[in-house]
């Protein structure tokens, strides 16, 4: 069955599109400014996290399906969680594929993920929410995130990482919302053929790395090339080389752009656009940004009593409805 499913020809992520749409809202603009100021100070101080060890983030997966094929199995949903834990814990077996010149930059983010065991009402749950879709496919307009528009309502985003799995159009594999946006749309959306490692998961996006990539945005990571194509883009991380554009497929090392020789692009980074079997690492600089997000705008999910930090740098974002 998976081989017959339609799969985009290369990775495409809608996080930047969503970000620019949200920037029309002044509260979101200010939140992003405040979050980046907080992140800069955090990194300047040497990324000294208030956390004393790894944190585990509760996850709810909303399976929004239009037909039986899109209604992926519990086992497929569950297959995604070990991938996130290995990738964010630098425990993935394929990290050995990192070129020797960067092998010392493979970093553990000290964050783990687990399907929720208690729902918002305090009742036992397997962390999987199934809703029959009111549309055949969805886009980056966030309609999948509301029952009123044919999708599934989120669980409280200050307590859960919401992941919606659905049929996405426009060649998208997924998209995410950066910290600082509306609570009602906060989370990650993944194409049902790019989620987990079994069932409908289809090569070359069948190793769960689309979710690793999109959760990276949710934790305030930027595309490694900085979403520009003129060598002026930046991901605000010092230990990732400058890069002109996204890489696709399985590039050969080195791939030199933007005068970044001799080693070239760090295309094996989770925040590039390469195939699942080619993205294998985060860097210490990226982990510092993740730590800043977990200490600041995402602190309510860590269970370490840092929600006051979130409240001090975030203001509610209310979007107009049409």
Per-residue pLDDT tens over the stretch 30-48: 999 999 999 999 988 865 6
Q: What's the confidence (pLDDT) of residue 44?
A: 86
Asked if the structure places residue 318 within a domain, the reply is: no
| Residue 46 within a domain | yes
Burial (Cβ within 10 Å: 0-12, 13-18, ≥19) of residue 251: middle
> Is 252 part of any domain?
no
Phi, psi of 42 (to 5 degrees): -60, -45
What is the Cα gyration radius of the chain? 18
Q: Please list, in sequence order, all residues whose beta carbon lies within 8 angstroms of the beta carbon of residue 90, skipping any fewer than 6 positions away.
A: 106, 107, 108, 109, 281, 282
Q: What token pair was written down for 16? A: 């930047």
Q: Residue 42 domain-assigned?
A: yes
Residue 104: pLDDT band by 50, 70, 90 thresholds? very high
Whether residue 285 is predicted with pLDDT greater than 70 in this model: the reply is yes
Q: What is the dihedral angle through the alpha carbons of 161, 113, 296, 289, rounded to the nearest 10 degrees?
A: -110
Residues forming a β-bridge with 191: 166
What is the Cα–Cα distance from 242 to 263, expressed in whole angstroms?
11
Residue numbers of the domain that contains 84: 2-227+284-313
Range in 264-273, 298-307, 311-320 with the lowest mean pLDDT = 311-320
3-state secondary structure of 39: helix
Instruction: Work out how many domains the chain is built from and give that number.
Output: 1
Q: What is the pTM of this model?
A: 0.95
Q: What is the mean pLDDT of residues 107-114?
A: 97
For the segment 167-178, the average pLDDT, to the nearest whole number, is: 97
List the beta bridge partners of residue 63: 130, 165
Burial label, 320 (beta-carbon count in 10 A; 0-12, 13-18, 19+): exposed
Mean pLDDT of 99-120: 97
The rounded distance, in Å, linking the Cα atoms of 146 and 311 is: 25
Predicted confidence band of residue 245 (pLDDT cuts 50, 70, 90): very high
- pLDDT surpassing 90 at residue 318: no
For residue 233, being part of any structural domain is answered with no
Is 320 a residue of the active site?
A: no
In 3D space, the residue among 294, 59, 26, 93 whose CA is nearest the CA of residue 195 turns out to be 59
- At 6, the pLDDT band (50, 70, 90 cuts) reads confident
Q: What region does 299 belong to: left with phi over 0, alpha with psi -120 to 50, or beta?
A: alpha
**Mean pLDDT (whole number) for 127-131:** 98
Of the chain, the end-to-end C-alpha distance in Å amounts to 39
**What integer is the mean pLDDT of 180-191?**
98
What is the chain's mean pLDDT, rounded? 93
Whole-number pLDDT of residue 321:
44
pLDDT (mean) for 123-144: 96
Q: Does a structural domain hold residue 260?
A: no
Predicted pLDDT of residue 313: 66
Name the nearest CA neighbour of 268 among 289, 254, 258.
254
Does any domain span residue 239? no
What pLDDT score does 1 carry? 40
- What is the distance, to the nearest Å, from the Cα of residue 251 to the centroid of all Cα atoms in its chain? 22
Break the chain down into helix, strand, coil percent, rounded to 5: 30, 15, 55
- pLDDT at residue 314 tops 50: yes
Exactly one of 17, 24, 214, 320 is catalytic; name it: 214
The reply to whether 209 falls in a domain is yes
Residue 133 pLDDT class (50, 70, 90 cuts): very high
């Amino acid at each position: 069955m998976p081989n017959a499913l339609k799969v985009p020809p290369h990775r495409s992520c809608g996080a930047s599109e969503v970000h620019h749409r949200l920037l029309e809202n002044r509260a979101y603009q200010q939140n992003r400014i405040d979050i980046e100021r907080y992140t800069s100070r955090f990194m300047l101080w040497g990324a000294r996290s208030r956390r004393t060890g790894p944190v585990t983030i509760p996850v709810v997966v909303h399976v929004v399906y239009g037909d039986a094929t899109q209604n992926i199995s519990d086992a497929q949903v569950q297959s995604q969680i070990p991938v996130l834990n290995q990738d964010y814990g630098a425990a993935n077996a394929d990290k050995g594929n990192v070129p020797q010149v960067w092998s010392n930059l493979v970093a553990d983010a000290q964050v783990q993920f687990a399907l929720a065991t208690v729902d918002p009402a305090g009742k036992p749950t397997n962390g999987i929410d199934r809703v029959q879709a009111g549309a055949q496919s969805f886009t980056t307009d966030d309609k999948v995130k509301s029952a009123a528009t044919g999708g599934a309502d989120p669980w409280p985003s200050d307590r859960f990482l919401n992941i919606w799995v659905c049929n996405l159009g426009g060649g998208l594999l997924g998209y995410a919302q950066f910290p600082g946006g509306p609570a009602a749309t906060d989370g990650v959306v993944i194409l049902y053929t790019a989620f987990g490692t079994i069932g409908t998961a289809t090569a070359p996006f069948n190793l769960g790395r689309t979710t690793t990539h999109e959760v990276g945005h949710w934790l305030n990571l930027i595309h490694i090339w900085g979403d520009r194509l003129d060598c002026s883009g930046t991901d605000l991380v010092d230990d990732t080389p400058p890069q002109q554009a996204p890489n696709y497929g399985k590039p050969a090392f080195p791939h030199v752009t933007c005068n970044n020789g001799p080693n070239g692009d760090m295309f094996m980074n989770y925040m590039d656009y390469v195939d699942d079997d080619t993205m294998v690492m985060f860097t210490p600089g990226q982990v510092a940004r993740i730590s800043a997000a977990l200490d600041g705008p995402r602190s309510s999910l860590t269970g370490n009593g840092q929600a006051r930090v979130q409240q001090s740098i975030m203001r509610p974002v209310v979007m107009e409805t049409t």
